[in-house]
Amino acid sequence: MAALIEAHDLVKTYRMGEETIHALAGVSFTVERGAYMAIIGPSGSGKSTLMNVLGGLDKPSGGALTIDGADMRALDDSGLAAFRNRTIGFVFQSFNLLPRLTALQNVELPMIYAGTDRRTRRERASMLLERVGLGARKGHRPTQLSGGQQQRVAIARALANGPALVLADEPTGALDTATTADILQLFGELNAEGATIVLVTHEPDVAAATRRVIEMRDGAIVADRGARAA
């Protein structure tokens, strides 16, 4: 089976005045379908830049990147937007839920952008909220939910369009220890059901819940621990 992600010699540079910042300095790796992995490193290591590149939120300055068969450097802005909506589900530390919408409506949003009809998206959003344990909270707005519940809504939203890849950026950073364990258990269950999940974190305990850990420093991979997905 072909890898879901193939990255070869990825480079990302920024200009800050007269200085050139090498956020990614020749990063190469592959990710198999069904993987559950973490990208870890201290602030400034390049892990957030790498996530933005993997998520189609930014383009590399050099190298090659293929995700689910698509050449990411060949896509223009509109192509990247369509690719993100169809192929990638995002989970963020701050949840990024719209406060005036209910949990159900928040989960429906990616499907609205994808052109899914109302009945189908309502049924799928309901099913996903049931899957993450919030079937009884469909009509609640974010302010009526705990942090852990909001993150579960965000995970359901990330799964709305059946993405090939789920990218989670510090998904437990705003949660307490017990809630973090609950969210990591949910990620593990979703992975066991076939979801490919990549977590970006600075927390070793969170990374340890995955099956593969890529460690970054100074824009480069310094360690890659763990086998291919089963």
Instruction: Evaluate whether residue 153 is within a structural domain.
Output: yes
Instruction: Evaluate whether residue 127 is within a structural domain.
Output: yes
Instruction: Evaluate whether residue 69 is within a structural domain.
Output: no
Per-residue 3-state assignment (H helix, E strand, C coil) for the chain: CCCCEEEEEEEEEEEECCEEEEEEEEEEEEECCCCEEEEECCCCCCHHHHHHHHCCCCCCCEEEEEECCEEHHHCCHHHHHHHHHHHEEEEECCCCCCCCCCHHHHHHHHHHHCCCCHHHHHHHHHHHHHHCCCHHHCCCCHHHCCHHHHHHHHHHHHCCCCCCEEEEECCCCCCCHHHHHHHHHHHHHHHHCCCCEEEEECCHHHHCCCCEEEEEECCEEEEEECCCCC
Instruction: Evaluate whether residue 25 is within a structural domain.
Output: no
pLDDT tens readout for residues 35-55: 999 999 998 899 999 999 999
Residue 101: give its domain's CATH number: 3.40.50.300
Instruction: Evaluate whether residue 27 is within a structural domain.
Output: no
Instruction: Evaluate whether residue 15 is within a structural domain.
Output: no
pTM: 0.91
Instruction: Evaluate whether residue 196 is within a structural domain.
Output: yes
- pLDDT for res 228: 53
- pLDDT for res 16: 83
Instruction: Evaluate whether residue 26 is within a structural domain.
Output: no
42 is in which domain, residue-wise?
A: 35-57+82-225
Q: Please tell me the total count of domains within the chain.
A: 1
- pLDDT for res 229: 42
- pLDDT for res 230: 42
- pLDDT for res 15: 85
Q: How confident is the chain (230 residues) per 10-residue block, as mean pLDDT?
A: 89 88 94 96 92 92 94 91 93 94 97 95 97 95 96 96 95 92 95 95 93 96 75
